[in-house]
Amino acid sequence: MELRTLRYFVAVAEELHFGRAAARLHMSQPPLSRAIKQLETDVGAVLFRRSPSGVALTQPGMVLLEEARVLLDQADRARVRVAAAAGAGTITVGILGDGTDPGARRLAAAYRERHPDVEVLVRDTDLTDPTCGLRAGLVDVALTRGPFDQTGLRVHELRADPVGAVLRAGDPLAERDQVKLADLAGREWFRFPEGTEPLWQSYWHGGEPRHGPVVRVVQECLHAVLWNGTVGIGPLGHEPPEGLAVVPLADMPPSPVVVAARDDTPLIRSFVQAARAAFRD
């Protein structure tokens, strides 16, 4: 069994969908299907139960998934150790927003434990680029939020956070259990500069053009609300600073927390695996 074929198998086993697995692997579906068929021939067992409703792992498939993850992890760790010994053990991580997220803290600890010899460079980024410099080649991997254009990127969702309206504590809407976008009509919003990624900008502007102060970082958003009574959208789950309130928005989909990359190196794969485990915990 080749490691590449095992990676194909793990992708299908995790996605339980050949189309999604092919997209994740940046390949077309027919060669992926052929590779899995050949793997089933090599191991002498049916690994997936295929039906019109989807794909499910068989018992042999579950056993192979457990073994494949161990083998792939060992192979990646070996490559990383060799790279570190050769002086190439560096990864640049772009982080958008709140670096105090418990999941991010767990991820940092887990990655240090996995790769104590790897130098991790962190690039904090503003709200104008949800890929944290990934497309520009400034970072190797990004811990960020969606939605944004994922073309050409490998994106793995870690968590989905509900969002709410960010308001001054004395705002009449701050007394409600929830609000709708229509309740914020006509208000000044904190907004992102022209040229910000369109899908990202549209989401955080509530799907409509807005007027109000232009902001680039989280603190500027909060100050716009605190000082001027501006409104906007922010994720729930964090205690707002004194003087502010975040009220759930009933008609907004959640914002996904994701890890994204362009390349597929052992250091990046290990980072993605650690991120999935850290945010799952």
pLDDT in tens, 73-124: 788 777 766 766 655 578 999 998 766 788 999 999 999 888 888 889 998 8
Does some domain include residue 94?
yes
Distance from C-alpha of 94 to C-alpha of 104, rounded to nearest angstrom? 12
* Nearest one of 179, 162, 180 to 235, comparing CA atoms: 162
70, 86, 102 — which closes off a domain?
86
Distance from C-alpha of 48 to C-alpha of 83, rounded to nearest angstrom? 35
240 lies in the same domain as 167: yes
9 lies in the same domain as 46: yes
Helix, strand, or coil here: 256? strand
Domain of residue 195, residue span: 163-253
Give the global pTM. Answer: 0.71
Helices (H) and strands (E) in the chain, counts: 8, 10
Distance from C-alpha of 267 to C-alpha of 90, rounded to nearest angstrom? 8
235 lies in the same domain as 203: yes
If one counts the domains in the chain, the total is 3
pLDDT tens digit string along 39-66?
A: 999 999 999 998 887 789 999 999 999 9
* Nearest one of 268, 277, 258, 269 to 130, comparing CA atoms: 258
185 lies in the same domain as 205: yes
